[in-house]
């Protein structure tokens, strides 16, 4: 793994800003199946804002506010964070959060770095930007919270269980998993909305998934249950906080 140290205050994770990139020989196979939104990086945020009128960000904000554990210097894994807006929100709530930001798209990472120059991270925070997929999370890495915002919808049905298992293994016991995503709709306008989105991103970024994978069922199959849930944009979008099921926990609905 090639590492480019962008800034370093102390020889610890705290205060570090690292950019790491797997060397060619170490790129895990599943990275090649990940959905690189590079071609859409320059317009993704604007388009999402125009179409969903802020609902995507509202859902992420609400889920972060409800789901981040209280410990200040928590270790956070963000998968598929895109152009980096979520980092500002995260640090607004937990200014000392230690973040591993795994994003397959170099163009999205470039935008994240540019954003960080405009909105620098707080003094006690730490960040590693890692180009790769969930497969680049090392087996010994553990996190206090896992964040997958609008990325589970990028997986094919076949690839999703393996990816979720990998992320699940990276959680400290009981660590919350924060999800915001489109609900897998089977009928009505929500289904047509999904169809249009898959068609559009199939065309623009070569997204291999062509329908919403059953992410709620796959998360439930890992023994995770929803302990908080909110819906947005006419229930087309869900924000969910999951962890291991206590007896009275809700099925993901």
Ligand X SMILES: C[S@@+](CC[C@H](N)C(=O)[O-])C[C@H]1O[C@@H](n2cnc3c(N)ncnc32)[C@H](O)[C@@H]1O
Give the residues lining the site for ligand X (CB under 6 A).
Answer: 34-37, 56, 79-82, 102-105, 108, 133-134, 149-151, 154
| Closest among 101, 123, 121, 127 to 16, alpha carbons compared | 127
**C-beta of 127: minimal distance to ligand X in Å?**
16
For ligand X, give the closer residue by CB, 81 or 216: 81
**C-beta of 12: minimal distance to ligand X in Å?**
26
157: burial class by Cβ within 10 Å (0-12, 13-18, 19+)? middle
- Give the Cα separation of 240 and 148 in Å (integer): 10
By the 8 A CB rule, do 243 and 174 touch?
A: yes
For ligand X, give the closer residue by CB, 57 or 227: 57
Helices (H), 6-127: 44-52, 55-67, 85-93, 106-118
CA 234, 239, 243, 247 torsion-angle sign: negative
**C-beta of 33: minimal distance to ligand X in Å?**
8
For ligand X, give the closer residue by CB, 79 or 146: 79
For ligand X, give the closer residue by CB, 61 or 191: 61
For ligand X, give the closer residue by CB, 151 or 242: 151
Tokens matching residue 231: 């819906």
**C-beta of 157: minimal distance to ligand X in Å?**
14
Question: Other C-beta atoms within 10 Å of 213: how many?
Answer: 22
By the 8 A CB rule, do 222 and 164 touch?
A: yes
Question: Other C-beta atoms within 10 Å of 210: how many?
Answer: 13
By the 8 A CB rule, do 114 and 143 touch?
A: no
Helix (H) or strand (E) holding 242: strand 237-244
For ligand X, give the closer residue by CB, 104 or 224: 104
**C-beta of 196: minimal distance to ligand X in Å?**
14
- Give the Cα separation of 100 and 75 in Å (integer): 8
**C-beta of 236: minimal distance to ligand X in Å?**
14
**C-beta of 20: minimal distance to ligand X in Å?**
13
For ligand X, give the closer residue by CB, 102 or 236: 102
């Amino acid at each position: 793994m090639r590492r480019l140290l962008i800034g370093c205050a102390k020889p610890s994770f705290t205060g570090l800003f690292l950019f790491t990139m797997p060397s060619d020989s170490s790129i895990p196979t599943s990275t090649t199946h990940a959905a690189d939104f590079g071609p859409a990086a320059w317009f993704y945020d604007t388009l999402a804002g125009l179409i969903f009128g802020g609902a995507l960000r509202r859902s992420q904000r609400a889920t972060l506010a409800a789901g981040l554990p209280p410990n200040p210097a928590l270790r956070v894994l963000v998968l598929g964070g895109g152009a980096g807006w979520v980092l500002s929100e995260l640090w607004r709530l937990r200014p000392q959060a230690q973040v591993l930001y795994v994003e397959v798209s170099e163009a999205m990472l470039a935008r994240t770095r540019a954003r960080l120059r405009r909105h620098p991270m707080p003094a006690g925070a730490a960040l590693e930007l890692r180009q790769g997929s969930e497969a680049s999370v090392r087996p010994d890495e553990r996190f206090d919270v896992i964040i997958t915002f609008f990325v589970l919808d990028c997986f094919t049905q076949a690839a999703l269980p393996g990816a979720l298992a990998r992320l699940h293994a990276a959680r400290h016991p009981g660590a919350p998993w924060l999800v915001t995503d489109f609900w897998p709709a089977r009928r009505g306008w929500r289904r047509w909305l999904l169809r249009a989105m898959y068609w559009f991103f199939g065309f623009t970024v070569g997204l291999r998934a062509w329908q919403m994978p059953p992410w709620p069922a796959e998360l439930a199959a890992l023994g995770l249950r929803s302990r908080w849930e909110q819906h947005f944009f006419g229930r087309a979008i869900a924000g969910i906080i999951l962890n291991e099921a206590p007896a009275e926990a809700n099925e993901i609905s």
